[in-house]
């Protein structure tokens, strides 16, 4: 069964460093998303991406965040200068009708 | 304003019994979709079931069914014949405008514990 994959599963980085979180959405899906979940909290929408451009972004998705689809399969989230409060689980998702989530990347900023 | 409300932070159920997890939503859209996800302690988000606002019948997927009451704006998840492996956090989510590309808005979640 096709699935969304994400790498790495865990990432530890120092404050101020750049990180790139990678995702491979399900191959015939057209819509891609990033969400985050701070420990113990609900899942929050960051950004959606369609037809090689951002279709919607939340107020969380400020200038330190960017997304890219560098080739036909990968979908990346870059955080330019990480802050302590960026520590969270980051989920990639994709859908045709139902939205499927990847296993997540746990980002820890120290 | 809270768009998705899950009023039960924690629920307990005996193995093999049925349990209902509550979810109410708020939208002015005529067209929307409702989702339930399971998040075990390992952290992944597992899609369980989907209900479109125009679907006449309640959605079912194996032991999961969605009790959709449109007038009450509720979309409760019913898990029949609970198993120990059902112990997890359960999130209700809504997609406004029943088109594929809209974001999901999540509730706070309900932690379900299945007792042997």
Which pLDDT tens digit goes with each residue over A34-70?
A: 999 999 899 999 999 998 899 999 999 999 999 999 8
Give the pLDDT score at B70: 94
**B chain contacts of residue A48, beta-carbon cutoff 8 Å:** 101-103
| Percent of chain B's residues with pLDDT above 70 | 96
Of B92 and B100, the structure prediction assigns the larger pLDDT to B92
Across B76-105, average pLDDT: 90
Q: Per the CB < 8 Å rule, is A43 touching B93?
A: yes
Residue A44 near residue B106, CB atoms below 8 Å: yes
Asked if B37's CB is within 8 angstroms of A97's CB, the reply is no
pLDDT at A86: 97
Nearest CA in chain B to A46: B103
Q: Compute the average pLDDT of residues A71-88.
A: 94
Q: Do B4 and B25 meet the contact criterion of CB atoms below 8 Å apart?
A: yes
- Asked if B47's CB is within 8 angstroms of A100's CB, the reply is yes
User: What mean pLDDT is predicted for residues B2-15?
Assistant: 94
- pLDDT of residue A105 exceeding 90: yes
CA-to-CA distance for B7 and B66, rounded, in angstroms? Answer: 17
Mean pLDDT within B15-44: 95
Query: So what's the pLDDT on residue A72?
Result: 77
Check residue A30 and give its pLDDT: 87
Q: Which residues pair with B38 in a beta bridge?
A: B46, B90
What pLDDT is recorded for position A98? 84
Instruction: Please answer yes or no on whether A104 and B103 come within 8 Å at the CB atom.
Output: no
- Shortest CA gap B23–chain A (Å): 14
Mean pLDDT of chain A: 94
Judged by a CB distance cut-off of 8 A, whether residue A98 touches chain B is yes
Alpha carbons B29 and B61: distance in angstroms, whole number: 26
A26: pLDDT confidence band, cut at 50, 70 and 90? very high
Residues of A in contact with B108 (CB under 8 A): 42
Which pLDDT does position A46 carry in this prediction? 97
Res. B2: pLDDT tops 70: no
**What's the mean per-residue pLDDT of chain B?**
93
CA distance to A110, B21, B36, B116, per residue, from A40 (Å):
19, 19, 18, 25
Assess whether the previous peptide bond of A8 is cis (omega < 30° from 0). yes
Pairing of strands A105-109, A19-24: unpaired
- The per-residue pLDDT for A51 is 87
Confidence band (pLDDT; 50, 70, 90) for A92? very high
pLDDT for the residue A52: 87
User: What number of C-beta contacts closer than 8 Å exist between A and B?
Assistant: 57
Q: Touching check for A71 and chain B: CB below 8 Å?
A: no
CB–CB contact A99 B104 (8 Å): yes
Q: Do B106 and A42 make contact, defined as CB atoms within 8 angstroms? A: yes
């Amino acid at each position: 069964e096709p699935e969304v994959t994400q790498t790495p599963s865990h990432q530890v980085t120092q404050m101020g460093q750049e990180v790139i979180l990678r995702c491979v959405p399900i191959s015939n899906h057209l819509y891609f998303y990033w969400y985050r979940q701070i420990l113990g909290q609900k899942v929050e929408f960051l950004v959606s991406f369609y037809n090689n451009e951002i279709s919607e972004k939340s107020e969380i998705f400020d200038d330190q965040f960017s997304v890219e689809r560098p080739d036909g399969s990968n979908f990346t989230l870059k955080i330019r200068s990480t802050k302590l409060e960026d520590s969270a689980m980051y989920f990639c998702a994709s859908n045709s009708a139902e939205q499927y989530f990847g296993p997540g990347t746990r980002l820890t900023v120290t | 304003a809270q768009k998705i409300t899950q009023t039960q932070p924690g629920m307990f159920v005996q193995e093999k019994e049925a349990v209902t997890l509550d979810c109410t939503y708020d939208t002015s859209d005529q067209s929307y979709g409702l989702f339930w996800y399971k998040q075990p302690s390992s952290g992944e988000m597992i899609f369980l079931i989907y209900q479109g606002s125009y679907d006449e019948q309640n959605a079912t997927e194996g032991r999961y069914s969605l009790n959709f009451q449109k007038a009450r704006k509720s979309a409760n998840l019913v898990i029949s014949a609970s198993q120990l492996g059902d112990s997890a956090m359960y999130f209700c989510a809504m997609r406004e405008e029943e088109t594929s590309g809209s974001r999901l808005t999540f509730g706070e979640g309900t932690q379900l514990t299945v007792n042997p």
